[in-house]
Amino acid sequence: MTMRKFNDILYVTEGVFNETEGLKQAMKLAAANQVSLDVLLVYPALPKTQDTYSDSYGKYLQEQLSVELEKTRQALKFSSDKVPLRVVRQKVDIPPAIEVIRHVLKEGDDLVIKEAEPGENGKGFRSTDMTLLRKCPSAVWLARPVKHDLGKASIAVAVDPENRDSREKALSIRLLQLSRSMADAFEGSLSILSCWDYELEQFLRYKAWANITEEEQEKNIREADADHQTSLKALIEESGIGLNHKVHRMRGNPDMLIPEFVEKEDVDILVMGTVARTGVLGFLIGNTAENILSEISCSLMALKPVGFVSPVRAY
């Protein structure tokens, strides 16, 4: 299978230099894709009363970033030319996420990697991260420290084979191909997660007017199970990712089952899609995705469907 390749990778930092794990993941992926890594340092403008220190402050942050980049290179045992770097420093007086999205729109980056900012309980993501997930046109990787050695990461991808249209099916195939490529890049394992259920079961079971026997009900459930299994198998085969993975079909609510699997199995990176309306300005994350995002404490790679239009403008 041809590797799902990123051509323009952007790593974003807000000047908090304790991000070695995120940088490791970014450099590792850039090396696997055989591309350079752009680094965007976004930092707030100083108050007007301290404006005379603005330039020296920016230079100090960039020097500290250079130290962090070198530490990461050494930790990975990468030579100086293994992953070429280009650092851009940007002082802003607008929300950092908006500046990042503007940069992406101008430069055409196809992946943004950023250290995750977890919520109060260590799960979920804060406002800057959520803005990127909702409005950034590129794929977004929110990085957290991996639980395993970097070369043995556990990758999981969540897919729904019962796609409503060709756009959703295309996204599902991209998710499978990307997760396979990431597992290869990190020499890790790949788990495919998919949830199913017979949504009418409770409704029909307690409606006397429906007159559905227990035997008929069980038959309907078995058919729903078989249909999901057949559809998932066909989707995986169409993606061309081969056989080196484990499939986990789970019956029930993905909002609960996927976070439970991620925690129980010590998943390092969850790959999942988000729901948008093609051609409509703005980004609508579906309820299921929102609920999953609020409960995970691992790294996240999120893809948007083709046709997504960001409400942010480049200028």
The pLDDT of residue 177: 94
Q: What is the average pLDDT score of the chain?
A: 85
The pLDDT of residue 283: 38
Predicted confidence band of residue 200 (pLDDT cuts 50, 70, 90): low
Integer Cα distance of 312 and 163 in angstroms: 28
Distance of CA 98 to the CA centre of its chain: 18
Residue 206 amino acid letter: Y
How, if at all, do strands 9-13 and 111-115 pair? Answer: parallel
Are residues 197 and 162 in contact, defined by beta-carbon separation less than 8 angstroms? no
Q: Over range 231-238, report the average pLDDT.
A: 96
Q: Over range 207-232, report the average pLDDT.
A: 80
Query: How many CA atoms are closer than 13 Å to the CA of 1, on its beta-carbon side?
Result: 22
The closest alpha carbon to 90, from 102, 82, 81, 79, belongs to: 102
Q: Over range 115-142, report the average pLDDT.
A: 90
| Strands of the sheet with 154-158, listed across from one edge | 85-92, 37-44, 9-13, 111-115, 139-143, 299-303, 269-273, 154-158, 189-196, 246-251
Residue 156 tokens read as 């999981």
pLDDT higher than 90, residue 8: yes
The length of the chain is: 315
For the chain, state the CA radius of gyration: 22
Q: In the chain, what are the domains? A: 9-303 (3.40.50.12370)
Query: How many CA atoms are closer than 13 Å to the CA of 21, on its beta-carbon side?
Result: 17
Q: Which of 72-81, 82-91, 102-111, 276-285 has the weakest average pLDDT?
A: 276-285
Predicted confidence band of residue 97 (pLDDT cuts 50, 70, 90): very high
Are residues 135 and 38 in contact, defined by beta-carbon separation less than 8 angstroms? no
Q: Which residue has the higher pLDDT, 209 or 303?
A: 303
The closest alpha carbon to 270, from 144, 122, 158, belongs to: 158
The pLDDT of residue 159: 93
Integer Cα distance of 98 and 113 in angstroms: 15
269-312: pLDDT as tens digits: 999 987 644 433 333 456 778 889 999 999 999 998 888 888 89
Residues paired with residue 266 on neighbouring β-strands, in sequence order: none
What letter does residue 85 receive in the DSSP assignment? E
The pLDDT of residue 314: 80
Integer Cα distance of 138 and 80 in angstroms: 27
